[in-house]
Amino acid sequence: NAGVTQTPKFRVLKTGQSMTLLCAQDMNHEYMYWYRQDPGMGLRLIHYSVGEGTTAKGEVPDGYNVSRLKKQNFLLGLESAAPSQTSVYFCASSQPGLALPLAREQFFGPGTRLTVL
Amino acid sequence: KNEVEQSPQNLTAQEGEFITINCSYSVGISALHWLQQHPGGGIVSLFMLSSGKKKHGRLIATINIQEKHSSLHITASHPRDSAVYICAPSGGGADGLTFGKGTHLIIQP
């Protein structure tokens, strides 16, 4: 099993360009997440999904859109990239628990390092 | 919003030492995760616990839900334990985790 994979690993964009980050998991997990990690700050939740066809906003959703058309894939889009979106992006997935806590441990992808000039 | 404080922020120790990393949070939770981020950037889940204590090899995690506090201990530390350790409380729902800023641990031979 590959676990959680992310494409691409690195990308440099110019301000105003668009791009899509792809996250794929082969563990049949229901829940998927996009986080960003910036120096001196903890990971922050951008968007998440609790199942195919569903998405919800996290702590820092502005400037990003997401889609979950297939259970195994979670896409993160930047329509018009800004330098403030320079960050390392992590995707994660987990399976719902049967009782509290409702979510189990999260499995993380290797990250995508994005630079916006 | 859950405020998460980890201490220390940075820790350098000698091989073999007993290591303790602390995590405090402000809002009641259902579970707390401890994660390890390797120097190469990958993040691995170490523990998820909602009460008491868990042990995996040389790693021990404890939590006191009433006091809103958790600790991660490493016994017989080794240079390969050098990493950033991140505490992440969870309200128990599907809406992700709240992360501490991490403790940067260096174990010197």
What is the tens place of the pLDDT at every residue in B57-93?
Answer: 999 999 998 899 999 999 999 999 999 999 999 876 7
Write down the pLDDT at residue B91. Answer: 77
Tokens of A9: 């690993």
* pLDDT above 90 (res B46): yes
- The Cα A38–Cα A89 span in angstroms is 9
Tell me the per-residue pLDDT of A19-33, one tens digit each, with 9 for 90 and over: 999 999 999 999 999
Q: How far is A57 from chain B (nearest CA, A)?
A: 9
What average pLDDT does the segment A6-16 reach?
Answer: 96
Return the residue of A nearest to B39 by Cα: A110
Is B92–A33 a contact, with Cβ atoms under 8 angstroms apart? Answer: no
- The Cα B18–Cα B109 span in angstroms is 14
Return the residue of B nearest to A100 by Cα: B92
What is the greatest pairwise CA distance in chain B?
Answer: 41
- The Cα A39–Cα A23 span in angstroms is 22
> Of the candidates A84, A68, A85, which has an alpha carbon nearest to the alpha carbon of residue A33?
A68
Compute and round to an integer the Cα radius of gyration of chain B.
13
Q: How far is B109 from chain A (nearest CA, A)?
A: 27
Tell me the per-residue pLDDT of A35-72, one tens digit each, with 9 for 90 and over: 999 988 889 999 999 999 999 999 999 999 999 999 99
* pLDDT above 90 (res A102): no
Tell me the per-residue pLDDT of B8-28, one tens digit each, with 9 for 90 and over: 999 999 999 999 999 999 887
Asked if residues A13 and A116 have their Cβ atoms less than 8 Å apart, the reply is: yes
Confidence of residue B33 (pLDDT cuts 50, 70, 90): very high
- A55 conformational bin, left if phi > 0, alpha if psi -120 to 50, beta if neither: beta
Give residue B55's Cα distance to chain centre. 13
> How buried is residue A96: exposed, middle or buried, by Cβ count under 10 Å (0-12/13-18/19+)?
middle
Q: What is the dihedral of CA B56, B58, B63, B68, to 10 degrees?
A: -130
Asked if residues A5 and A20 have their Cβ atoms less than 8 Å apart, the reply is: no
- The Cα A73–Cα B56 span in angstroms is 31
Whether chain B has a CB inside 8 Å of the CB on A58: the answer is: yes
> Of the candidates A54, A60, A31, which has an alpha carbon nearest to the alpha carbon of residue B1?
A60
Whether chain B has a CB inside 8 Å of the CB on A89: the answer is: no
Start-to-end Cα distance in chain A: 36
> Of the candidates A40, A2, A24, which has an alpha carbon nearest to the alpha carbon of residue A74?
A24
> In this complex, which of A35, A56, A104 lies closest to B95 when CB atoms are compared?
A56
Whether chain B has a CB inside 8 Å of the CB on A104: the answer is: yes
Tokens of B36: 């390890």
* pLDDT above 70 (res A88): yes
Cβ–Cβ pairs < 8 A, chains A and B: 68
Whether chain B has a CB inside 8 Å of the CB on A51: the answer is: no
